[in-house]
Amino acid sequence: MAKVKNTACIILAAGKGTRMRSSLPKVLHKICGKTMIEHVLKLAEPFGFKPTIVVTGYKGKDVAKAAKGAAKIINQKKQLGSADAVMSAEAAISKFSGDVIVMYGDIPLIRRETLKQVLLRHKAKGAACTLLTAKLRDPSGYGRVLRDENNEVVSIIEETDLSFNDRAVNETNVGAYCFDGKALFEALKEVKINKNKKEYYLTDVISILKNKGLKIEAFSTKNEDEGMGINSRGELAAAERVARSRVLEKFMDHGVTIEDPSTTYIDPGCVIGADTLIRPFTMIEENVKIGQNCAVGPFARLRAGTRLSDGVEVGNFVEVARSYVGGGTKIKHHSYIGDSVIGKDVNVGAGTITANYDGKNKNKTIIKDGAFIGSGTILVAPVTVGKKAVTGAGAVLTRKTKVPDSSVIVGIPGRILKK
């Protein structure tokens, strides 16, 4: 994507997020495994805004750490409101004459295409401010966008200040704006404290600019989800559902069948081949790679570092962690496979457990091609099971056991029988 020239970005993340009832700053709560501030930074990143500034306050050091050098950090001394937060970033972009994007750190669901539309409209119309709006079925809690008889935006009014009639307005302020930088900082000086909330509202800048005869534009997203601001745990959970279903849609677009998206969790960093079937109640964690034509679940958990080759079947109540599983291998019921390398066409019987952890170290289990692991086998790692070897039901393979190719091992502790 082409970088946007001469445009700065200010992300507001100083608030505590009182309604979360958390000791963690609000923007550090996670959605799909990533903090909200990271989501917003990731949205901004491809545009190449310079500088990108994150305004911190409550537990600012922790927020700065999550922002990971992606941005300049500015501290807002006291949380006097969103207008004050933007003003505190002014010094960091002094002598700057371009446009300034302002986004709140608690709006994690905006799509890149949408922000791009806001920018395009802003540049095309030569506006002093272009804001992103959404039309919500239930707009309560959000600032409302008021328009005049020519359908021009005239102001944003917060819920607590709305007149009875304006309560029905369902166009909301999302919290992402593109401003002419000079006009923004001039107007900020004129913002007066809000009597209800005792805060300086950034949203008051809209009517100030309008009253100066400057142009206000709006881009309205058709997608309700993008308008979600996260203020409470309930909204956090709702955003998680949206973000999660977006991730699953991507996998489905690439040819993966997901039987029940509402009970399936797949980390966005995973790779899954076409025609693989993901059955209900399945959790697939960071960076797992799955080949084509596999079947996973129901009730399976694949943890970080797991790789399944093509045609693998992992069934109910199976957990696989940090392991490689070769093509055509089946692990269908009640197993734990950790730190293992399993070859192709292996049958892992029900209830097979790798005892990979000895209290200090995680040890490796190697099971070679074509082996048949009997039900209830316990493999106390490190162990190796040779090609086409067989373990009897309930066998316990003690530490350092090496089962030769094509041989049979039975009992507790495991005894190797003849080939």
Task: Kindly state whether residue 156 participates in binding ligand UD1, applying the rule CB under 6 A.
Answer: yes
HEC per residue, the chain = CCCCCCEEEEEEECCCCHHHCCCCCHHHCEECCEEHHHHHHHHHHHHCCCCEEEEECCCHHHHHHHHCCCCEEEECCCCCCHHHHHHHCHHHHCCCCCEEEEEECCCCCCCHHHHHHHHHHHHHHCCCEEEEEEECCCCCCCCEEEECCCCCEEEEECHHHCCCHHHHCCEEEEEEEEEEHHHHHHHHCCCCECCCCCCECCCHHHHHHHHCCCCEEEEEECCHHHHCCCCCHHHHHHHHHHHHHHHHHHHHHCCCEECCHHHEEECCCCEECCCCEECCCEEECCCCEECCCCEECCCEEECCCCEECCCCEEEEEEEEECCEECCCCEEEEEEEEECEEECCCCEECCCCEEECECCCCECCEEECCCCEECCCCEEECCEEECCCCEECCCCEECCCCEECCCCEEECCCCEEECC
Indicate the residue whose CB is closest to Ca ion.
229
Torsion over CA of 56, 58, 60 and 66, rounded to 10 degrees?
-90
Torsion over CA of 85, 86, 87 and 88, rounded to 10 degrees?
50
Residue 109 or 247: the one with the smaller Cβ distance to Ca ion is: 109
Pick from 142, 179, 219, 372 the residue near ligand UD1 by CB under 6 A.
Answer: 142
Pick from 25, 139, 229, 338 the residue near Ca ion by CB under 5 A.
Answer: 229
Q: Which does 37 bind (CB under 5 to 8 A by kind): ligand UD1, Ca ion, none?
A: none
Contacting ligand UD1 within 188-217 (CB under 6 A): 201-203
Print the binding letters for residues 13-52 with ligand UD1: x by CB under 6 A, - otherwise. Answer: xxx-------------------------------------
Q: Which does 73 bind (CB under 5 to 8 A by kind): ligand UD1, Ca ion, none?
A: none
Task: Kindly state whether residue 328 participates in binding ligand UD1, applying the rule CB under 6 A.
Answer: no
Pick from 38, 84, 99, 240 the residue near ligand UD1 by CB under 6 A.
Answer: 84
Residue 76 or 352: the one with the smaller Cβ distance to ligand UD1 is: 76
Q: State in angstroms the smallest separation of the CB of 78 from ligand UD1.
A: 7
The one segment of 105-113, 266-274, 357-365, 371-379 that binds Ca ion by CB under 5 A: 105-113
The one segment of 53-61, 101-109, 276-284, 345-353 that binds Ca ion by CB under 5 A: 101-109
Q: State in angstroms the smallest separation of the CB of 186 from ligand UD1.
A: 18
Pick from 60, 229, 370, 414 the residue near ligand UD1 by CB under 6 A.
Answer: 229
Contacting ligand UD1 within 90-119 (CB under 6 A): 104-107
Residue 102 or 258: the one with the smaller Cβ distance to ligand UD1 is: 102
Among the options 29, 39, 122, 333, which is catalytic? Answer: 333
Pick from 8, 71, 81, 225 the residue near ligand UD1 by CB under 6 A.
Answer: 81
Task: Kindly state whether residue 106 participates in binding Ca ion, applying the rule CB under 5 A.
Answer: yes
Q: Is 333 a catalytic residue?
A: yes
Q: Which does 201 bind (CB under 5 to 8 A by kind): Ca ion, ligand UD1, none?
A: ligand UD1
Longest distance between any two alpha carbons in the chain, whole Å: 94
Residues annotated as catalytic are: 333
For ligand UD1, the binding residues (CB under 6 A) are: 12-15, 55, 57, 76, 79-82, 84-85, 104-107, 142-143, 156, 158, 172-175, 201-203, 229, 231
Residue ranges that bind Ca ion, judged by CB under 5 A? 106, 229, 231
